[in-house]
Amino acid sequence: MALLLQYTLIYASVLMLVALGGCFSERSGVINLGLEGTMVIGALGGALVMKYMGDLPAALMILAVVLGSVIFGMIYSLLLAVSAINFKADQTLVGTAMNLLGTAAATVIVKAINMGENVNNVSSSIQYIDQRKAFSAFKIGNFEVSWFMILAVILLIVAHVVLYKTRFGLRLRACGEHPQAADSVGINVYKMRYAGVLISGFFGGLGGIVYITAGVSEWKFENGVAGFGFLALAVMIFGQWEPKLIGLAALLFGLFRALSNVYSGFDILEALNIPSAVYNMLPYIISLVVLALFSRNSRAPKAEGIPYDKGQR
Amino acid sequence: MNTKNEKKRFLEIGGVQTVIASLICIILGLLVGYIVLLCINPAGAWDAMTSILKNFLYFPRPEVALEYFGSTLAKTAPLLMCTLSILFAYKVGLFNIGSSGQYAVGAGLALYLALAYQMPWYVCMIAAMIGGGLLGGIAGILKAYLNVNEVIAGIMLNWISLYSVNMLLTNVKESSTTYTMALKTNSPDALIPSLGLDKLFSDNRYVTIAIPLAVIIAILVWVVMSKTKLGYELKATGLNKNAAKYAGMKEKRNMILTMVIAGCLAGLGAAFLYLSGIEQWSCAQTAVPAMGFNGIAAAFLGGLNPIGSIFSAFFIQHITSGGSYVDKMVYCAQISDLISAIIIYFCGFVLFFKYCMNRKAKK
Nearest C-alpha in A relative to B346: A94
User: Cβ of B63: how many Cβ atoms within 10 Å?
Assistant: 10
B157 and chain A: CB distance < 8 Å anywhere? yes
Q: Is pLDDT of B184 > 60?
A: yes
Which tens digits make up the pLDDT trace of B295-315?
A: 988 888 888 889 999 999 999
Q: Does residue A306 belong to any structural domain of this protein?
A: no
Q: Tell me if A100 and B330 make a contact (CB, 8 A cut-off).
A: no
Residue-wise burial string across A100-123, b where 16 or more C-beta atoms lie within 10 A, e elsewhere = bbbbbbbbbbbbbbbbeeeeeeee
Amino acid at B251: E
Mutate to test the interface with A, among B168, B339, B345 (most CBs of A within 10 A): B345
Looking at CA atoms only, how far is residue B101 from chain A in angstroms? Answer: 13
Q: Does residue B35 belong to any structural domain of this protein?
A: no
Q: Does residue A303 belong to any structural domain of this protein?
A: no
Number of domains in chain B: 1
B 310-329: CB under 8 A from A? 328-329
The CATH number covering residue A157 comes to 1.10.3470
Query: Residue A174's pLDDT is what?
Result: 93
Which tens digits make up the pLDDT trace of A173-184?
A: 999 999 999 999
Q: Does residue A301 belong to any structural domain of this protein?
A: no
- Which domain does B140 fall in, by range? 68-335
Q: Tell me if A96 and B344 make a contact (CB, 8 A cut-off).
A: yes
Q: Does residue B206 belong to any structural domain of this protein?
A: yes
Which residues have CB under 8 Å from B69's CB, separation 6+?
A: B56, B201
Report pTM. Answer: 0.87
B151 and chain A: CB distance < 8 Å anywhere? yes
Q: Does residue A178 belong to any structural domain of this protein?
A: yes
Strand, coil or helix: what is A218? strand
Q: Does residue B33 belong to any structural domain of this protein?
A: no
Query: What's phi and psi for B219, nearest 5 deg?
Result: -65, -40
Q: Does residue A188 belong to any structural domain of this protein?
A: yes
Q: Tell me if A281 and B152 make a contact (CB, 8 A cut-off).
A: no
Q: Does residue B15 belong to any structural domain of this protein?
A: no
In this predicted model, which residue has the larger pLDDT, B6 or B198? Answer: B198
CB nearest to B156's CB, from A287, A293, A298: A287
Percent pLDDT > 70 in chain A is 99
Which tens digits make up the pLDDT trace of B69-89?
A: 888 899 999 999 999 999 999
The CATH number covering residue B80 comes to 1.10.3470
Q: Which of A166, A209, A177 is nearest to A18 (CA)?
A: A209
B105 and chain A: CB distance < 8 Å anywhere? no
Which tens digits make up the pLDDT trace of B223-246?
A: 999 899 999 998 888 888 888 888
Cβ atoms of B251 and B240 closer than 8 Å? no
Q: Is pLDDT of B11 > 70?
A: no
Task: Tell me the chain A residues in contact with residue B149 when contact means C-beta distances shorter than 8 Å.
Answer: 233, 237, 291, 295
Q: Does residue A232 belong to any structural domain of this protein?
A: yes
Distance from the Cα of residue A54 to its chain's centroid? 24
B64 and chain A: CB distance < 8 Å anywhere? no
CA–CA distance, A259 with A280 (Å, rounded to integer): 9
Q: How far is CA A33 from CA A36, A75, A236, B152, in A?
A: 7, 16, 12, 9
User: Band of the pLDDT at B123, cuts 50, 70, 90?
Assistant: very high
**Counting runs of H as helices and runs of E as strands, what totals does chain A give?**
13, 4
Nearest C-alpha in A relative to B352: A87
Q: Does residue B344 belong to any structural domain of this protein?
A: no
CB nearest to B334's CB, from A83, A108, A234: A108
CA–CA distance, B192 with B189 (Å, rounded to integer): 8
**Counting runs of H as helices and runs of E as strands, what totals does chain B give?**
17, 0
Q: Does residue A168 belong to any structural domain of this protein?
A: yes
Cβ atoms of B238 and B92 closer than 8 Å? yes
Nearest C-alpha in A relative to B90: A93
Which residues have CB under 8 Å from B13's CB, separation 6+?
A: none
CA–CA distance, A224 with A41 (Å, rounded to integer): 9
Looking at CA atoms only, how far is residue A101 from chain B in angstroms? Answer: 5
Nearest C-alpha in B relative to A90: B348
Which residues have CB under 8 Å from B343's CB, separation 6+?
A: B25, B26, B28, B29, B297, B301, B316
Q: Does residue A308 belong to any structural domain of this protein?
A: no
Nearest C-alpha in A relative to B145: A296
Looking at CA atoms only, how far is residue B100 from chain A in angstroms? Answer: 13
Nearest C-alpha in B relative to A89: B348
Q: Tell me if B348 and A100 make a contact (CB, 8 A cut-off).
A: no
Nearest C-alpha in A relative to B355: A87
Percent pLDDT > 70 in chain B is 96
Which tens digits make up the pLDDT trace of A268-303?
A: 777 777 777 888 888 889 889 988 888 777 777 888
CA–CA distance, A147 with A210 (Å, rounded to integer): 10
As beta bridge partners, residue A145 has A138
Q: Tell me if A284 and B147 make a contact (CB, 8 A cut-off).
A: no
Q: Tell me if B344 and A79 make a contact (CB, 8 A cut-off).
A: no
Q: Does residue B320 belong to any structural domain of this protein?
A: yes
Which residues have CB under 8 Å from B7's CB, separation 6+?
A: B361
Query: Residue B1's pLDDT is what?
Result: 43
A216 and chain B: CB distance < 8 Å anywhere? no
Q: How far apart are the first and last CA of chain A?
A: 57
Strand, coil or helix: what is A177? helix
A227 and chain B: CB distance < 8 Å anywhere? yes
Q: Is pLDDT of B5 > 60?
A: no
Strand, coil or helix: what is A31? coil
- Which domain does A236 fall in, by range? 2-294
Q: Does residue B134 belong to any structural domain of this protein?
A: yes
CA–CA distance, B129 with B126 (Å, rounded to integer): 5
Side-chain-side CA neighbours of B332 within 13 Å: the count stands at 23
As beta bridge partners, residue B179 has B282
Q: Tell me if B334 and A222 make a contact (CB, 8 A cut-off).
A: yes
Q: Is pLDDT of B132 > 90?
A: yes
Which tens digits make up the pLDDT trace of A216-231?
A: 778 888 888 888 898 8
A 55-84: CB under 8 A from B? 79, 83
Cβ atoms of B268 and B82 closer than 8 Å? no
Which residues have CB under 8 Å from B75's CB, separation 6+?
A: B273, B278, B317, B320, B321
Q: Does residue B146 belong to any structural domain of this protein?
A: yes
Number of domains in chain A: 1
Looking at CA atoms only, how far is residue B2 from chain A in angstroms? Answer: 34
Looking at CA atoms only, how far is residue A110 from chain B in angstroms? Answer: 10
